[in-house]
Amino acid sequence: MKAMQVITLTLLSVLAASAQVVNFGKCPQPAVQADFDASRYLGKWYGIKKLPTFFQKGECSTATYSLKSPGVVGVLNSELLNDGTISSITGSAKAKDPAEPAKLEVTFFEGSTPGPYWVLSTDYEGHSLVYGCTEFDQFRKEFSWIMSRKPTLSEETVEELNNILSSVGIDVDKMVPTIQDETYCSAMNQ
């Protein structure tokens, strides 16, 4: 029993140091976007707010989705790092179950375990709310992004999306804004 506590505390310390959001318990099962249409979701999205992650450290983040093949969405995530360089990663996403098209699984490296990418809400033209959660032992690791088709999103819409997250027990106070200032992000647009 003591060994498990030491391992658990060590794991929590490592995850906390990497700014990852980790909580006790199982992942919530929020409702996803009804009748999700991946073809309408394609195109460029700007990051507005996110739960901190170890793999996304920059600003000016964008996600660009394209049709890779029938039922498979190509993913291109880009961000501007503090040293002025642009970091990008490509991957693919597809629905594990065609009956639940808003519950996508994303893979960035060949042979890696897919990560959950659930579209909780989108109007396709203005906003998107994404949530993912992975369980391990007695804990869960959570991800969430509020995205927009433009570099800004109204406070009313952000509040609406925060309310969706809060309603399923996700701590929106841990969400951090993403800088999308036109001058600061100009390197991303060259």
Q: What is the pLDDT of residues 47-69, one digit of tens each?
A: 999 999 888 889 999 999 999 99
pLDDT of residue 111: 78
Could you tell me the domains of the chain? 2-189 (2.40.128.20)
| 38 and 58 Cβ atoms separated by less than 8 Å | no
For residue 2, what pLDDT band results from cuts at 50, 70 and 90? low
pLDDT of residue 190: 62
pLDDT of residue 5: 42
pLDDT of residue 54: 82
pLDDT of residue 57: 87
pLDDT of 176 above 50: yes
pLDDT of 120 above 90: yes
pLDDT of 8 above 50: no
Euclidean distance between CA atoms 76 and 48, whole angstroms: 17
pLDDT of 18 above 50: no
CA angle 109, 114, 116 (to 5 degrees): 135
| 32 and 149 Cβ atoms separated by less than 8 Å | no
DSSP readout, the chain?
-HHHHHHHHHHHHHHHHTT-EEEESPPP-----TT--HHHH-EEEEEEEE---SS---EEEEEEEEEEETTEEEEEEEEE-TTS-EEEEEEEEEESSTT-TTEEEEE-STTPPPEEEEEEEE-SSSEEEEEEEEEETTEEEEEEEEEESSS---HHHHHHHHHHHHHTT--GGG-EE----TTGGGGGG-
pLDDT of 99 above 50: yes
The structure's pTM equals 0.86
Across all residues in the chain, what is the average pLDDT?
A: 88
| Average pLDDT value for residue range 84-109 | 94
